[in-house]
Structure 1
C-alpha cells in the first residue's frame, strides 16, 4: 500500500506538462494586462493633453491664409 501511495503523490508527465503550460499562459496574460495598462495610461495622458490645449482663434485664420482662401 505504501508504494502505491508514493506513486500517486508525484504528478505524472502529462500533469507536469499542463503545469508548465499553465505557468506560461499566466506569464503571457500578465504581460498582456501590463501592456494594456501602459497603453491606457498613454491614451489618457494624450487625451488630457489635447483637452488642456486652448484653441487659438488666430490659428484658423492663419491656416486659411496659407491655403490662399479668404479669411472669415
Structure 2
C-alpha cells in the first residue's frame, strides 16, 4: 500500500523529462535576453561615442594646412 502511494507522489519519467526541457528552454531564453542586452548596451555606447566625436569641418582644413596640403 505504501509503495503505491510513493509511486503516485514521485514524478513520472515523462514529467522529469518535461521539467528538464523546461529548464533548458528557460536557460536558453535567459541567455538570449542577456545577449540582446549586451548588444543594446554596446550599440548605445557606440552611438554616444559617435555623437560626442562630432568634428569641426574646419579641423580637417587646419590639419591639411599644417601638412602643407590644400583640401580643394
Aligned length: 63
TM-score (norm 1): 0.74
Matched, 1:45 2:55: no
What is the Cα-based RMSD across aligned positions, in Å?
1.9
- Per-residue deviation, 1:36: 0.5
Q: Which residue of 2 aligns with 1:27?
A: 27
Structure 2 matches for 1:1-72, cutoff 5 A? 1-58=1-58, 59=60, 65=71, 71=72
Unaligned runs of 5+ residues in structure 2 are 65-70
Unaligned runs of 5+ residues in structure 1 are 66-70
- Per-residue deviation, 1:9: 0.8
